[in-house]
Amino acid sequence: MLQSNLIAFIDDASRLVVHGEFFPGETATQLVATIRSAFYKRGIPEQMYDDNGSIYAGQILTLLCRRVGCILRHTPLRDGAAKGKIERFFRTVRDSFLSRILDHFSFGALNRLFSDWLENDYNASVHSAIGMKPIDRFALDIKRVRFLPSDQVTDEIYYAEETRKVKRNNTFCFDGKRFEAPATLHDREIHIRFDRFRKGRVIVYYKGLRQGNAKRLDLVTNGILRNQKLQQMAAA
């Protein structure tokens, strides 16, 4: 039997749980996946109030909030009351949802059941603290919510980021491979973004501006072109 960890975010005013998901562990990558789903479903919050655990206090979350223009705050150390709303929700999950799950499901099946319960039961039922359904209370403030378009460029907000120094030949190394920068950036320090889940595209940023996709360097083709150029120079 695998241990499951629930990562979830709750809207303070409406008690709406914007998104929650079960994982076999609790890592920064899984945290980013949950936030990505929450932002696409219910928009960007003005502030995010998080725990002081290692995955919440690291650079990844700080960088993500900076990219979307969200203020990041953390609960005071050893202050259980500061996490009261989300802790009460976790207790409700244990008492009202997990108590019904009698079989061992895959995480995919578990999350499908949880999503159905979350949207059709918890978010759609009158909450005792506010006397309204969380989904209805959230709708009152919908005009204040800022949504991001769901496209490839927006997805880069959630990508991991590393710093690289571009060589004189306008190339840099990443993941054991050499790439060519999309613009003339030799001898410059750049930031590269890449998908944590599928390392394929590498996007180059310089001084906060997107420069485009880096191109994987084909050493064989480049060698042939270089030899041809040298031969042409010699013939001239």
Mean pLDDT of 85-107: 86
Token digits for 41? Answer: 């479903």
Lowest mean pLDDT among 40-44, 81-85, 115-119: 81-85
Share of the chain above pLDDT 90, in %: 64
197 or 122, greater pLDDT: 122
Residue 228 has pLDDT above 60, yes or no: no
Name all contacts of 135-142 with Cβ < 8 Å and 24+ positions apart: 135/14, 135/16, 137/13, 137/14, 137/15, 137/16, 138/11, 138/13, 138/14, 138/16, 138/42, 140/14, 141/13, 141/14
Segment 174-201, tens digit of pLDDT: 998 999 999 999 999 999 999 887 777 8
Say if CB 69 and CB 45 are below 8 A apart.
no
Amino acid at 161: E
Domain spans in the chain, listed from the N-terminal domain onward = 5-144, 159-221
What's the CATH class of domain 5-144? Answer: alpha beta
pLDDT-based confidence at residue 34 (cuts at 50, 70, 90): very high
Token digits for 82? Answer: 């500061």
| pTM across the whole model | 0.81
Give the per-residue pLDDT at 217. Answer: 86
What mean pLDDT value characterizes the chain? 87
Residue 216 has pLDDT above 70, yes or no: yes
Strands (E), 53-176: 71-74, 160-165, 171-174
